[in-house]
Structure 1
Amino acid sequence: MSSARQRSKAELARRLREIVAPEHVIEDAETQRPYECDGLPIYREMPLLVVLPETVEQVQDIMRLCHRKSVPVIARGAGTGLSAGALPSPAAVVLSLAKLNRILKIDPLARTARVQPGVRNLAISEAAAEHGLFYGPDPSSQIACSIGGNVAENSGGVHCLKYGLTVHNVLRAELVDVSGERFIVGSEGLDAAGFDLMALVTGSEGMLGMVTEITVKLLPTPEVAQVVMAAFDSVKLAGDAVGAVIAAGIIPAGLEMMDGHAIRAAEDFAHAGYPTDASALLLCEVDGAAEEVAEHCALVERLFRELGAVSTRTSRSEAERALLWKGRKSAFPAVGRISPDYYCMDGTIPRGKLAHVLGEIDRMAAEYRLRVANVFHAGDGNLHPLILFDANVPGDFEKAEEFGGRILELCVAVGGCITGEHGVGVEKLRQMPAQFTSSELEQFHAVKRAFDPAGTLNPGKGIPSLRQCQEYRTLELARVSSG
């Protein structure tokens, strides 16, 4: 770094320490190291500075200062994101919202919770439990991920089939814009006049403003919940069974699939009682009134057996139900036991295409000579193939990255999209032109400019430049021609 840039950085750090406590401005490289990536560590970059405000007023002052100095700002939550959406830049300040972590109000009559962005996802349900309520979206990282990050990426979870993604469960948000002014989107009522800016902000990956307060819906805790586990000797049979459950008129709280690699890794870690000789496993949770749950569980078990399940089992206690879900929610880290590294993808397809797409992924895995562990939200077609590789083997990561891109393009080709809940970030920029035309991407840029004319909010994320789109299409044409 040049001496002029060093002086500029030191001056910015000094000014930031006038806004927050001095120890909440992180300037040295060693202490900044935990902020160099999010939950996708294959993309790493060091920030200019890291600042951790404790109040909304401090967020406003930081934004005003950076706006005057034309310094880019990157919002960061708990760092559990999986698309490099919070990847730092050497020219940008990372603004961590982790210290804004208070639950401001639980309203059991309105069934809402008003919270700050640094509140953990699971903490909302824990606070609402005494009122017989819970918060629906439950990402696998819910014990650690923050609600602000959930809004930024439109997170889902194993129960999003019945209860929806973040966008379906957030009513209102307060943001600080690029110039430091507060504004509110959404409403605590059932509707709000004007454009639906709440839906626009949800999933915007910190590119439109800093979310400083969120009002979420709370739902009544079901009287009973049970999980039906079914083992299949082929992924195709399991895929076909997913559609059959929905076609029978049952909307499960969650309907998850794991293939053989994921089953064995999760069972070795969680000891959930999974059949390790199965090629595919379905976990179908039904919740509601006791009589309805008993009826639906019996129907689901019968359907699974008729469609080729080699074994079925229904949880008989809350402890058994929790253990079955522990295995599923531990699957991502558990796969680390069978591979030095893995690359987690995120795409969504129509349910009817599950068997076809999983077959194509298996074919491509043989082509690339890389294993894939599939563990995903089968009920809503949100795939999470984990491409296993070894970063110490030259070329392995590049193969995994190319393979992942082709999976996303396959999702688009069958009528799906390149993300279900992880966002675009840096990871999926190259696949955006596979889903959107240049005209459509220009509309995204127009929205971005309306909120952030100078482009200093989380630059380089979410929307590729039109030049990048042209490069992508040129490469694709070359690949197709050579293939």
Structure 2
Amino acid sequence: MNGSGARLDAVLAELVPALGGRAVLTDPSALRAYDCDGLTTHRSTPAAVVLADDADAVASAVRACARHQVPFVARGSGTGLSGGATPRADGVLIVTTKLRRILAIDPDNQRAVVEPGVINLDVTVAATPHGLYFAPDPSSQSVCSIGGNVAENAGGAHCLKYGFTTNHVTGLDVVVADGSTQQLGGTAVEYPGYDLVGTFVGSEGTLGVATRATLRLLTRPEAVRTLLAAFSSIDDAGAAVSSIIAEGLLPAAIEMMDATAIAAVEQAVATRYPEGAAAVLIVELDGPAVEVDQDTAAVERLCREAGSTSLHVAQTDQERQLIWKGRKAAFAAVGRVSPDYYVQDGVIPRTSLPEVLSRIEELGHRYGLRVANVFHAGDGNLHPLVLFDDAVDGQAERAEELAGEILALCVAAGGSITGEHGVGLDKKKYMPLMFTEDDLDTMHRVRCAFDPSGVANPGKLFPTPRLCGERPGPRRGVHPLTEAGAGDVF
């Protein structure tokens, strides 16, 4: 038996008696259900799965992995789109979906305390009777879990005005890589000293596992107005977005979909978006009723000036929900028009929208693949969906190459390789497009402070992972821990 197999057996020998056989899965047929997250092009069947039902079970699993130097990966609902929850074939997958208690709703302090398996939308459902809600709203909010939102620093349509998950988490209980539990932050917005909560949010599971989160809740606005505007070209829609922001308006959301995405959505959920539109904008405004009325009139004027072919303001909550249903269903709906698709996530300056979208179209023609564009236009967060057929030889590889070129295009335009989906496995090789070797070494040292053994979600985020204690710069020779059999290079 090789070293990694013996170490895994030692972990299982600890966990099965402690947690029970039903909580530790090793049957190959059961393990296959966990071999990927929402990015299905990256797959790896874990050696074992732990179905944790409380924070102590998470800590026990992490402690056993740390003691025997077995890598572990945390997973929530599995809706991530960057391969961040892809398991290790020689490691343990710790699943937190059973930790789904809402522990407290504190309306006086506008806080919720929840376990990591709580579904995003359920926080708002629980807070609604108190006139409150949880602002981050990923498209998968009806199924994605808070633990995953914390790991990836998830955003959503309303992050233009309200920010990302990191702006709405004030405290965390975390199990770090040695199995100990640490409390970061609390109920206050800020604490003196290092921002450890901000460091942990968006760390993609490389610093440990969150077992409890304290979330900020916001007061429901007095008025909400949702406007749907159609355009005969993406350039016109992009010009409308720029005009809205230049006017000094700050909508809660500005979303855009192109013709391919619109066609898919109509097939899937029949939202009755305007026929023949090359692009539609969904603009939502919220706040005091008088202010919303004024801002809605201004948005309507600016859309008309940019060449809008039709404008409709939702008159009922049902109409508003139908408009949003199309946008929220867009990713899944693309399955109606393509056997497979590759979701990308990059950021560009708003002013670069027309140029970058034109270049994406050119790249699609060059690769012989269609690209559907669905994105948070207000903050320039693009979600191009590269359509392909995995049954056609070479198309999956071309789709991945095209997605990479789109990321390079985003960075060249002054943007980023990710807005809200994270880096994970999918984009780690593109990190040097944005960061120098010194930048990456600094990030790695932070990771080592939390996880000196490198067992927490190894192989993610960093383009050239190294053992903690290794000298910065290009790897030189064999690390002593590797030579002694006490550590692996992931």
TM range (shorter): over 0.9
Kept after mapping to 1: 8 A contact 2:8/2:90: no
After the TM superposition, which parts of structure 1 deviate over 4 Å for at least 4 consecutive aligned residues? 2-11
Q: 2:464 maps to which residue?
A: 465
What displacement does 1:13 show? 2.4
Q: Distance in 2 between matches of 1:5 and 1:455?
A: 15
Kept after mapping to 2: 8 A contact 1:373/1:387: yes
What displacement does 1:414 show? 1.1
Q: Distance in 1 between matches of 2:418 and 2:392?
A: 28
- How do 1:3-402 residues align onto structure 2 when only pairs under 5 Å count? 9-402=8-401
Report the RMSD for the aligned CA atoms in angstroms.
Answer: 1.6
State the AA in 2 paired with 1:91.
Answer: D
| Shift in CA distance, 177/4, structure 1 to aligned 2, threshold 3 Å | closer
What secondary structure sits across from 1:91 in the alignment?
coil
What displacement does 1:463 show? 1.1
What displacement does 1:86 show? 0.6
The answer for unaligned runs of 5 or more in structure 2 is 467-472, 476-490
Kept after mapping to 1: 8 A contact 2:207/2:447: yes
Kept after mapping to 2: 8 A contact 1:20/1:52: no
Kept after mapping to 2: 8 A contact 1:136/1:163: yes
What secondary structure sits across from 2:411 in the alignment?
helix
1:392-446 CA distance string (max 9 Å, x none): 1111011111111111111111111100000000000111111111111111111
The answer to which of 205-214 and 285-294 deviates more is 285-294
The answer to which of 119-128 and 264-273 deviates more is 264-273
What displacement does 1:305 show? 0.5
Q: Distance in 1 between matches of 2:72 and 2:195?
A: 25
Q: Distance in 2 between matches of 1:17 and 1:466?
A: 31
What displacement does 1:289 show? 2.2
Q: 1:476 maps to which residue?
A: none
| Shift in CA distance, 33/172, structure 1 to aligned 2, threshold 3 Å | same
What secondary structure sits across from 1:51 in the alignment?
strand
Q: Distance in 2 between matches of 1:424 and 1:402?
A: 16
Q: Distance in 2 between matches of 1:191 and 1:453?
A: 27
Kept after mapping to 1: 8 A contact 2:176/2:207: yes
Kept after mapping to 2: 8 A contact 1:368/1:399: yes
The answer to which of 290-299 and 142-151 deviates more is 290-299
Q: Distance in 1 between matches of 2:414 and 2:95?
A: 37
Kept after mapping to 2: 8 A contact 1:286/1:297: yes
- With normalisation by structure 1, the TM-score equals 0.95
Q: Distance in 2 between matches of 1:436 and 1:358?
A: 24
What displacement does 1:276 show? 2.9
Determine what percentage of the aligned residue pairs are the same residue: 49
State the AA in 2 paired with 1:219.
Answer: L
What displacement does 1:339 show? 0.4
Q: 2:486 maps to which residue?
A: none
What displacement does 1:7 show? 6.2
The answer to which of 125-134 and 441-450 deviates more is 441-450
What displacement does 1:61 show? 1.8
What displacement does 1:154 show? 0.4
| Shift in CA distance, 310/426, structure 1 to aligned 2, threshold 3 Å | same
Q: 1:412 maps to which residue?
A: 411
What displacement does 1:8 show? 5.3
Kept after mapping to 2: 8 A contact 1:264/1:276: no
State the AA in 1 paired with 2:189.
Answer: L
What displacement does 1:56 show? 1.3
The answer for unaligned runs of 5 or more in structure 1 is 472-483
What displacement does 1:235 show? 0.6
What secondary structure sits across from 1:75 in the alignment?
strand
Kept after mapping to 1: 8 A contact 2:7/2:70: no
What displacement does 1:14 show? 3.2
Q: Distance in 2 between matches of 1:116 and 1:142?
A: 16
